């Protein structure tokens, strides 16, 4: 197997990831790419306690992750790579071609406008998503496996299926 899902989700490891995606995809590991979490052992322990014992979690800064992607892609288990924001995913796309990105959750914050039930974006974030698509990446929004994927155009237009 390999990394089967590249997901942008500002909640990082949570129920939708561990249970919603983790069980149907038989996920064996999660790669969490976040500069803050990578720098704090306590935060890492917090996220480790959220996953079942048979699931591994690996933590990397955005700079460090690039050097480990090949290893995770050749892992015999299925894995999910998580970033908490679009910019971090963009850095990984630039460095190590990623074909498809899942927008799983970007929640309400100052300056953001609601586009879907679980996606709120600033104008700058909208540009970042368009930029990812312009690099040949398939960008879709989908919070859980049972939901229909939403194309980038529909996402930015706020067309909830």
Partner 1 sequence: MSSESTQSDQRPRHRAIVAGHGEFAAGLVSAVEQITGLGSQLIPVAVHKLGVADIEALLRERMIAEDVRVIFTDLQAGSCTMASRRILRGMDDAVLIAGANLPTLLDFLFAEGMSAPQAARHAAERGRAAIAVHGAGA
Among 3, 18, 69, 137, binds partner 1 (CB under 8 A): 18
Other beta carbons within 10 angstroms of residue 20's beta carbon come to 17
Among 49, 70, 99, 134, binds partner 1 (CB under 8 A): 49
Q: Name which of 119 and 139 has its Cβ closer to partner 1.
A: 119
Please answer whether residues 117 and 20 qualify as being in contact, where contact means their C-beta atoms are separated by less than 8 angstroms: no
Please answer whether residues 64 and 38 qualify as being in contact, where contact means their C-beta atoms are separated by less than 8 angstroms: yes
Q: CA 101 to CA 90: how far, in whole Å? A: 10
Among 3, 5, 8, 12, binds partner 1 (CB under 8 A): 12
**Does the protein bind partner 1 through residue 13 (CB under 8 A)?**
yes
Please answer whether residues 150 and 116 qualify as being in contact, where contact means their C-beta atoms are separated by less than 8 angstroms: yes
**Does the protein bind partner 1 through residue 93 (CB under 8 A)?**
no
Among 117, 127, 135, 148, binds partner 1 (CB under 8 A): 117
Say whether 59 sits in a helix, a strand or coil: strand
Residues numbered 51-80 forming contacts with partner 1, rule: CB under 8 A: 51
**Does the protein bind partner 1 through residue 111 (CB under 8 A)?**
no
Other beta carbons within 10 angstroms of residue 125's beta carbon come to 21
Least separation in angstroms between residue 11's CB and partner 1 is 5
Least separation in angstroms between residue 97's CB and partner 1 is 29
Q: CA 131 to CA 3: how far, in whole Å? A: 22
- The phi-psi region of residue 74 (left if phi > 0; otherwise alpha if psi is between -120 and 50; otherwise beta) is alpha
Binding piece for partner 1, criterion CB under 8 A, among 40-48, 68-76, 121-129, 131-139: 40-48
Q: Which residues would be at the binding site for partner 1 (CB under 8 A)?
A: 10-15, 17-19, 42, 46-47, 49-51, 106-109, 114, 117-118, 120
């Amino acid at each position: 197997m390999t990394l089967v899902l590249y997901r942008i989700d500002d909640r990082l490891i949570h129920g939708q990831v561990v249970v919603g995606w983790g069980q149907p995809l038989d996920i064996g590991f999660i790669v969490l790419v976040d500069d803050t979490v990578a720098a704090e052992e306590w935060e890492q322990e917090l996220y480790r306690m959220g996953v079942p014992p048979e699931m591994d979690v690996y933590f990397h800064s955005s700079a460090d992750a690039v050097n480990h992607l090949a290893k995770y892609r050749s892992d015999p288990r299925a894995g999910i790579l998580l970033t908490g924001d679009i910019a971090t995913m963009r850095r990984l796309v630039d460095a190590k071609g990623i074909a498809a990105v899942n927008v799983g959750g970007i929640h309400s914050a100052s300056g953001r406008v609601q586009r879907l039930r679980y996606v709120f974006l600033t104008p700058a974030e909208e540009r970042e998503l368009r930029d990812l698509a312009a690099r040949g990446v398939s960008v879709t929004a989908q919070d859980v496996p049972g939901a229909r994927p939403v194309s980038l155009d529909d996402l930015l237009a706020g067309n909830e299926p």
